[in-house]
């Protein structure tokens, strides 16, 4: 009996990922969530992309990162970043003697400054019934 090969289901793998818990200021958290909603992405996915952008502009990272960010002024969440970005993040944290969470949060903040570098289509808003998406050819 000849069996056909099954096609893989689901989305293609993004490769190995590492989990980080960026600690971001509340204003940056709002900006991150607004950006994620506007793009139709998950917050974690958006944060991972912003960390990547932050790493591209690491020379602009503040030299005096705080040792801790007060819980009343910040929030944290889970972000899954590529292993390459994780290694760079850990190296920065080690060099500056700061926690990975604080450095990840600073990179998110830096990425927000350069959010225009994000790739991917931004979904068009449809504010009224006259501008709805086509669902079939007419």
Summarize pLDDT for 47-106 with one digit per residue, the tens.
999 999 999 999 999 989 999 999 899 999 999 999 999 999 999 999 999 999 999 999
Residue 77 lies in a domain: yes
Residue 126 lies in a domain: no
Long-range CB contact pairs, 45-49, < 8 A, 24+? 47/22, 47/77, 47/79, 47/108, 48/79, 48/80, 48/81, 48/82, 48/85, 49/111, 49/118
Nearest alpha-carbon partner for 16 in 48, 43, 58, 40: 48
Summarize pLDDT for 18-28 with one digit per residue, the tens.
999 999 999 99
Residue 112 lies in a domain: yes
Domain span holding position 86: 17-121
- pTM recorded for the entire structure: 0.78
DSSP string, 55-91: HHTGGGS-SS--S---GGGEEE--EEEEHHHHHHHHH
Q: Which residues pair with 76 in a beta bridge?
A: 23
Residue 57 lies in a domain: yes
Residue 24 lies in a domain: yes
Domain total in the chain: 1
Nearest-angstrom CA–CA distance, 58 and 88: 10
């Amino acid at each position: 009996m000849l069996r056909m090969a099954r096609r893989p289901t689901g989305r293609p793998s993004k490769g190995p990922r590492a989990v980080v818990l960026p600690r971001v200021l509340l204003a940056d958290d709002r900006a991150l969530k607004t950006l994620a909603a506007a793009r139709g992405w998950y917050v974690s996915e958006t944060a991972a992309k912003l960390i990547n952008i932050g790493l591209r502009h690491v020379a602009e990272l503040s030299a005096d990162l705080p040792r801790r960010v007060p819980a009343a002024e910040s929030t944290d969440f889970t972000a899954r970043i590529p292993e390459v970005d994780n290694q760079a993040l850990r190296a920065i944290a080690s060099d500056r003697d700061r926690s990975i969470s604080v450095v990840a949060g600073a990179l998110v903040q830096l990425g927000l400054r350069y959010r225009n570098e994000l790739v991917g289509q931004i979904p068009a808003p449809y504010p009224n019934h006259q501008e709805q998406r086509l669902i079939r050819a007419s």
